[in-house]
Structure 1
């Protein structure tokens, strides 16, 4: 008998993006908006690569896909106020 696949934690699911964002000068964090949904927040640090962020709709699609192995769905993504997209 095989065991069911253990759901990933949100941190595990977003780790590659957290690392990628950090390399471009951004901090990725998240918080629950309700028991089944989370909000992903991306904040710029000094010297962040302004051209490295994808448009909000693309970022939301990426984050929603990344969260599929978790018990959570994406509520929305908050990008830096000065993001060009």
Structure 2
């Protein structure tokens, strides 16, 4: 997996106040996007499009990527119960 396309995606998101963290969890990727203070947590593209962008940057398939958006992450960094 080349890190350059993923780093470019991170920089693109960072320009709008988002932070992308991608970790490998077994055969899957866990992609968590958090928003800096004052940035809209719901103003991102639909998850399936974000998964496709991350897949293109990592050589994975969108189905192998779990995407978590800022509105799903609590102040403690943990997932919010639905």
Long gaps (5+) in structure 2: 73-82
Long gaps (5+) in structure 1: 1-6
TM value normalised by structure 2: 0.69
User: Which structure has the greater CA radius of gyration?
Assistant: 1
- The Cα shift of 1:58 comes to 0.9
- How many residues of Structure 1 are paired with residues of Structure 2 in the alignment? 70
Q: Per-residue displacement from partner, 1:7-62 (whole Å, max 9, x unpaired)?
A: 52xx323111110111100101111111x321111000112255751111111111
Q: 1:81 to 1:50 in 2, by over 3 A?
A: closer
Q: Does 1 or 2 have the higher relative contact order (CA < 8 Å, sep 6+)?
A: 1
